[in-house]
Every structure is written in structure tokens, then in C-alpha cells.
Structure 1
């Protein structure tokens, strides 16, 4: 038997104003996207902004459905749109923000498991890390240099 230790390195900023200007602008785009969320069941609004290698910014928001599994998270809404519209353009970074309508969301909210897997697919496809910045409605912002920090043992196509 052998024990394996996995480590994750993240950078934590005190708030959005501590971020570099270009990342602040990307995060502001994710806030704009969050305001377009359709979340009448959870009252949990999420927005994502993705910066592509060609300079384009793609946004997405969560879209719920009364048949809960039929909804889609903001991250997947944005990344699938980017993949459909810009199939050969690399994703450089993504910013996401989440806010509950029931309480102030100060804790940074990372992508859910399904979104991590979707992001992993694109990171693997482009063979280049995707920076991920995430926050709640206010407060600290966390940066991951790669999806691999958030999902270190990814399931990817080479095992199929």
C-alpha cells in the first residue's frame, strides 16, 4: 500500500478591488450575468464570464426548471456556448459569482461537481489550464490556477 497526498494551491483576495483591473472587469461581467439568472426555485443566482484567447467574453447564468435536473448552471451555460460558437479558441479564464436571494452570500462559491467536470473537459481538450476566479455576492475572491486544483482526479477521455 502507498499513501498519496494531494495538495491544492489557491490565491485568496480580500475583495474584488484587490484583483488586477482586467480580472475585476471580468468579474463585473459575471455579476451582470448573475442578474440575468432564472432561479425561481432555489433563489440562488449565479453568473459566469469567460475570457477566450481571441479576446471575446462569453457570459452565462443559471437557468432553472420546475423539473430540477433539467436546469443548467451558469458555468456550463457559458462554457457550452463558448464551445459551440468558438470551438477552436482556448479559454483563458473564468470568473463566477453567486448570490442567494435569502441571505447575503459572503463565502466564495466554487463550481459544483458537474460544472467542474465540464470545465475539466475543456481544460483537457485545449491542453492548457483555465484560471478560475470565484466569489459570493461580496467579500473574498478565490483564484485557482487550474481546474485541476478544484478537481485533482479528473475523469477524462483517455480512460475510455
Structure 2
């Protein structure tokens, strides 16, 4: 079973995502309403995966993701209703793996999130097995990263 932390300041979405993930027998899910609560939970409990909203009220979700990478060496999947290309590209370029768009039919998107834990452990951890992030590994090193199509993202140009 994988333990997942869901960080979202929107109570409705956080509850919906936690409930959806708990449908699958391989997830133990805990919710956090902001970065402080998330970091406290990460420091006191062991997690395998973090789902984090990009646009949190107290801190930028990308900044929180980077702090989680530094302190806890955990994979972070960013989530957002914001489908602007620059937001998504920025998140991916800074280490999000992957970025999921919020929508009512997210159940299927969550079904295979546990695979991100496995991919993270195989690709992101250094080859010496020390369990530290390899700073030389970037998004371009991920062979099986799913990139959103142009239909799934919007541009401010449109």
C-alpha cells in the first residue's frame, strides 16, 4: 500500500481527491489544507507520494514541491484547474512528475499514480543508491513522461 498526501486549500477538491484515491486498495490517503500542515505531516509520518495544488494560498505549489524534493525525496504530482501552457511547462520544468488537470472525471487519472512512485525511485534517485536526488536528472531524462496535447492546454494567445 502506498501512502499519499493530498495538499489542496480547496476543501471540496481535497475531499474529492482523497475519497477518490481511497477507492483503490493500494492507497492510504491523508489530506492537508496548506503548506504548513503538509510539511508537518511529512515530518511526522512516512509518505510515498504527494499530490499538490499548483495555486495554494499560502505558498506556490511549485515552491512547496521543490521543498518536498529537497527535504523528503518524494515524487510530487502537481494538480490544477489552470490549464495555461506556461503554468504547466513551468511546473514540469521545475520537477513536477506529472501535472494533472482537475476535472470531474479524474478517477482514471488517479488509478495509476502509484506507478509514479516506482518511476521516481528508478529514475530520480541517483545510480549509487544513496537515496539522494540527482541534480543532473531533468525532465528530458524521463523516457515515459506523458506530455499533454495541445487540445488539453490553453494559451494566453487564444
Both structures adopt the same fold (TM-score exceeding 0.5): no
Bigger relative contact order, structure 1 or 2 (CA pairs below 8 A, ≥6 apart): 1
Computing the radius of gyration from Cα coordinates, the structure with the larger value is 1
TM-score w.r.t. the length of structure 2 is 0.33
